[in-house]
Structure 1
């Protein structure tokens, strides 16, 4: 019997010979080379274990894939199929309509999922599927745009955190009804200027606060936030790196001493700003400036004559 199996080269004869033995059929599924007709026969195998193993194997033909995508007896077979590499586009599209959420969830996470299938999943009835789609690495801009109009918080927050989020999707998210979505957007890198300006005018102070802390905030948005009605937003702006000199100068005239104090403690203050702060009416502001490691000589000379002993002491400790 074994000699006959070894000598036989026709897949159909092999299947006919070993059809009663599930373990042997499983071993056959794992063969490196498996003919198209054999794949089709195995795709209709009575054992779900055989069909599941077939769904996961490499070099599976489109006909067998399509057969497995219609497997009504076991969702595990379709799940295994949905997660495989090199899934034919026709099969991807068919699986987007699968009645089992877990199948569509795995499909949404498939790294090789094409744009047509992504677009279909972007309107999936399950927010979990749409969230998984929003978190995937490769996504066409048209899919981003579709998801940016989603009414689910988790989906939009996941989308807002994408490194490759396009300008159109960013702009859509600035109008999201949920302030938490806009806050998540405000904290992301590479926000386009138009989006920064929209968020700088947001009604929610937490959104503007997240924007003020954004390391890549542009000058125009900084100039918008420097006059923000919330002292907390202005304080966050004052303490950030890469603050334009015009913004620094405007902050030296802020009505809130906490804002000016935050400014006085930051690195790389322009000389004119240092001089303004050295003459500040609030001793805590001048004290913060005296402790500034980047303090220039002109401001140091002014503070050396300060009326407050704590300011002079702090300055002396740096010498």
Structure 2
């Protein structure tokens, strides 16, 4: 199995902001690498370098065996790119958008037309194919954008936060489409800030923060780093949140996490999760703390990211926001 994407020591600076600080990435052929991190972590900057839209200040990168600096046109001929926002012409129909992409790739009108119709069918857009894309829902526009990235049947697909802003149903539809592409052998680099997305789709995950890779592994390997199980309770009265924190602190391994907005308290436990949960419930009952919900669960990627960085993956820091805005 060859590596379809290989990046070594990528550095990108914008004035006083370092967007990438020595990022290494390897994506073997036919696999999915999830690049996971919050807004401003450097994910989009890495994508733009690999797609030849930006040049790194330091480091090297190859896509499908082609150097991004030495032969950018060669790279572009081998990739499909779908960015954070659907790049479709809203005045053209879905069919016309796809046919236009085919013609731009040098296809004959007949070939481009046939490819457009095939992709409309694959992405469940046949009924809407002859309507202006401005009438499409957000999920339909994202599917059309992804279809456009596949017109030339590229061996490498780069998706930069493909489900950002979609409702849960549209997000699940996109996940189904992406799984189908991967089953057909497409090599995929997927950037996301949705941990469940990386958990569901990626063979391997690189967690990136402040332009650096801070952890790498499968979803299960990353989760195992946090150890144990999680006890979570939701109190009926937010005024009793501190009482719940004290009850969980007795059995917790590490810091207890409280979320006033959700009225929830979460704590990691090393072993005997069920026994420790019983102790917590008894203590809260003795203290008269009413609960709306309670659970014992395995660690999630949210827990992993919080353990690694001290903040949640969908958080947004000022410096990071500047990085992504400038790189636009």
| Band of TM-score, shorter chain | under 0.3
Query: Higher helix share goes to which structure?
Result: 1
Query: Higher strand share goes to which structure?
Result: 2
**Higher-Rg member (1/2):** 1
TM-score for the superposition, normalised by structure 1: 0.25
TM-score for the superposition, normalised by structure 2: 0.25
Q: Which has the higher contact order (CA 8 A, sep 6+)?
A: 2
